[in-house]
Chain A
Amino acid sequence: MSRFISIWFRHLLTDGYALGQPSLKDIPFVMAAPERGRMMIQAANAKAEADGVRAGMVVADARAIFPALHVVDAIEGTENGLLEMLGEWCLRYTPDVAIDAPDGLILNISGCPHLWGGERAYLKDLVLKIRAMGYDARAAIADTIGAAWAIARFGTVTPIINQNCQKEALSPLPPTALRLDQAIADRLHKLGLYTIGSFIDMPRPTLRRRFGQEMIIRIEQALGSLTESLKPIRPVSPYEERLPSMDGIRTAKGIEIAIRKLLQGLCLRLSKEGKGLRAAVLTCYRMDNEVQQVILSTSRPSRDVEHLFKLFELKIPSIRPALGIELFLLEATVTEDLNVTKEMLWSVSRKDETAVAELLDKIAGKIGEDKIHRFLPDERHWPENSYKEAASLEEKPTTAWRTDRLRPVCLLPEPVRIEVSVPIPDYPPLLFRYKNRPYRIVRADGPERIEQEWWLTDGLHRDYYSVEDESGARYWLFRSGHYNDEHSAWYLHGFFA
């Protein structure tokens, strides 16, 4: 025989909100949302209800009763989030928890209460803990979901209904306790059927004719002759693998075996779910209560045990086992969808692409991800800005690389100031001095003026000259500003091939 708990959160929304705003705990407040052009109260806390403010009132009306009422905006859908959170918390009492929208939870507790020493202790523990969290809750245990629901909300005698006693327990309760539509409940009230007991023994065909099939279903669900199914909460379990070891592991070989085992489990799960690992944390719990951590990330999602193992292998020397490691915990902190048909990297085969990505992961693991670059053309004026860092290995250039102008293969990170002798304005220099050595120029091209991007910065333009010295070496020089201007200066910027 199944047993169920129904938990009713009387002020779910306001309690949840007050937890984040402790100042609201002791003052009456309501949560309101606009509905047909007026602010309707969606939820009122216990203090506001004591003052006569109810959910479903218009805020203006409520203010007429109670002028100092505090009103906050209700956000749609918060109750579901709160119930999910509470439901996951309740998983400690039973593995079978379902959300009972809009303000309750249903727990299938069959076979669980004896662990707490009986149903009474179980219920007391559950309710007290929820109340301690700050939620005003009522709960009841019964054989059926319907009965538990009714007792939790309308029961006055005892919250625990013994087996097969739901009919007696339900009899004094009002018809709404059967989870009926408001219209049916109103009709029952009109007919003078104020309690469930006054109509529960009536012949079913009569009831069906007058109130419809739904009422019959509700009655049978409450009495237990019709089973009701639950949609249990399944919490998202983290991508996590643990491996305890009886004796502490102290050797690199032992750690290797442990990592490989953990990765096998994790990658199996990832491949079942079509995911790939982007970042992982390996935590090693040592016997002396110290914790060693290794963090790694990959350039693209991966679920290849060998590849991930290689990345960890590089970090094994940084793990200090000391007396021994008793627990390994591997957690995939970031995962991404890894579908087989992903855009190809350039024009290489899938195998090559994976191999390159794995190589880069390995290098990134040792040297650092920020040391790996790929460049795409950028539509900017100045040469040092004319290319930009690609965001990923797959990113394609949006514009073509420019080839109309000759550019030096080597560019100095910063232009170097040089001394020149330029006898004629806007002519290339005859001679320049760089690192205390003179270079006599025999050929030159230019100037090629490259302006500042005025929409970004102010400053001097650059006049570039490509020059060749006596030995045949070619340099890229520029003068910033105009000839003989007081701010103008000459710089060496690059070397041609």
Chain B
Amino acid sequence: MQAVKKDSLEMLRKEILDLQGLGIRPDSEQVNVPLGEILENMPGGVFPTGAIHEFLSPTLTSAAAATGFIAAIIHSLMQSGKPCVWISTRRMIFPPAIRVFGIEPDRFIFIDTPREKEAFWAIEEALRCESLCAVIGEIATLDFKESRRLQLAVESSRVTGFINRRFPHRITSTACVARWQVQPVNSKATIGLPGLAFPRWKVELLKIRSGRPASWLLEWSGNAFHTVVNENPQQSMLPNLKTGVA
């Protein structure tokens, strides 16, 4: 009886996900994004592709951290060989730097638009194009109506959209599947060694449709994310729990 109940609940959950446009895709379409522990909070335990992810970046440094985080995710999305479009009103990305995250910068197409309105139009057009793997938009404003348009566009084309909102004026609710905030955190070097250690970010999943919001401390080292479990300096000397391979 218990088992039957559980099964039917599972079925219902899947149906709801399908209706929300977050249904489990066939294996060929599924992308394994090595986010480790974070995936447990995602709908169905899979990184939602074909959805809009919104990043709030109130400062330039958090915008840079979010850029790094997005680049690391895109690395696994780009395995399909499709190109990626980067649309921004004020482009600051330094193409040679994203090579560190395992992606070829020459497979990106950068579009610089003078105004937000045109940037939004370009993002929407790009999201409708099924032949792209991801679209990254750097704009400041995104209201509910606009986010709804973007979300509808990706639900038919299955392109993953990342909107990095630099200096967001007004944070209202949006129709995006996920809302993130990435902030840099002090790195912890192995005791006795000078200089910078591996970059660390505090990744906050503020909102996720059909998932659980949470916050993690991530470290990017050896081409993979590592969740930092304990802030104890003795512990961090040991190799961290490896949660994913890029």
Contacts and interface: CB of A to CB of B under 8 A. Distances in A.
A402 B96 contact: yes
Contacts of A390: 106
B60 A471 contact: no
B99 A402 contact: yes
Contacts of A401: 96, 99, 104-106
B199 A348 contact: no
B92 A359 contact: no
Interface string A484-497: 00000000001111
B131 A351 contact: yes
8 contacts: A352-B82, A356-B132, A375-B106, A383-B96, A409-B67, A409-B97, A472-B200, A473-B64
A372 B105 contact: no
A411 B105 contact: no
Given A359-B126, A373-B110, A497-B65, 14 more contacts: A352-B82, A356-B83, A363-B122, A367-B111, A367-B122, A371-B114, A377-B96, A377-B105, A401-B106, A409-B98, A410-B92, A467-B196, A468-B187, A471-B61
Interface string B187-216: 101000011110111000000000000000
B17 interface: no
Interface string A449-482: 0000000000000000011101111110000000
A240 interface: no
A493 to B, nearest CB: 9
Contacts of B68: 409, 496-497
Nearest to B90: A413
Contacts of B118: 366-367
Interface string B49-83: 00000000001110111011101000000000111
Interface stretch (A98-106, A195-203, A439-447): A439-447
A356 B67 contact: no
A410 B129 contact: no
A122 interface: no
A444 B196 CA distance: 6
A375 B95 contact: yes
Interface in B92-119: 92-100, 104-114, 118
Nearest to B195: A445
A304 interface: no
A230 interface: no
Contacts of A348: 81-83, 131
B10 interface: no
A401 B92 CA distance: 18
A450 B71 CA distance: 26
Contact of A406 (B100, B105, B112, B130): B100
Contact of B113 (A356, A371, A443): A371
B18 interface: no
B235 interface: no
Q: Identify whether the interface residues of B are mostly helix, strand, loop, or mixed.
A: mixed
B186 interface: yes
A360 B125 CA distance: 10
Nearest to B80: A348
A410 B60 contact: yes
B184 interface: yes
A409 B199 contact: no
B83 A372 contact: no
Nearest to A412: B92
Contact of B110 (A372, A475, A497): A372
Contacts of A353: 131
Interface string A346-390: 111001110110011011001100011111110000010011001
Interface string A393-425: 100110001110011111111000000000000
A390 B97 CA distance: 17
B144 interface: no
Contact of A409 (B94, B106, B114): B94
A471 B184 contact: yes
A235 B60 CA distance: 62
Contact of B96 (A345, A372, A387, A475): A387
Interface string B5-27: 00000000000000000000000
B67 A497 contact: yes
B39 interface: no
Q: Identify whether the interface residues of A are mostly helix, strand, loop, or mixed.
A: mixed
B97 A408 contact: yes
Contacts of B105: 375, 377, 387, 401
B246 interface: no
Interface string A34-72: 000000000000000000000000000000000000000
A372 B129 contact: no
Q: How many of chain B's residues touch chain A, expressed as a range?
A: 35 or more
Interface hub of B96, B106, B110, B197 (most chain A Cβ within 10 A): B96
A349 B67 CA distance: 28
Contacts of B129: 355-356, 359
B97 to A, nearest CB: 4
B111 A372 contact: yes
A466 to B, nearest CB: 6
Contacts of B107: 346
A383 B94 contact: yes
Contacts of B67: 409-410, 497
A396 B71 CA distance: 21
A347 B81 contact: yes
B185 interface: yes
Contacts of A442: 186
B100 A403 contact: yes
Interface in B117-175: 118, 121-122, 125-126, 129-132
A346 B106 CA distance: 9
A336 to B, nearest CB: 21
A411 to B, nearest CB: 4
Contacts of B106: 374-377, 390, 396-397, 401
A447 to B, nearest CB: 12
A289 to B, nearest CB: 35
Interface in A125-162: none
Given A372-B111, A373-B110, A410 B64 contact: yes
A496 B186 CA distance: 13
Given A351-B131, A472-B184, A413 B92 contact: yes
Nearest to B111: A372
B201 to A, nearest CB: 8
Contacts of B125: 359, 362-363
5 interchain residue pairs of minimum CB distance: A497-B68, A352-B131, A473-B61, A411-B94, A495-B64
A44 to B, nearest CB: 62
B81 A375 contact: no
A463 B93 CA distance: 21
B186 A472 contact: yes
B71 A409 contact: yes
Nearest to B112: A371
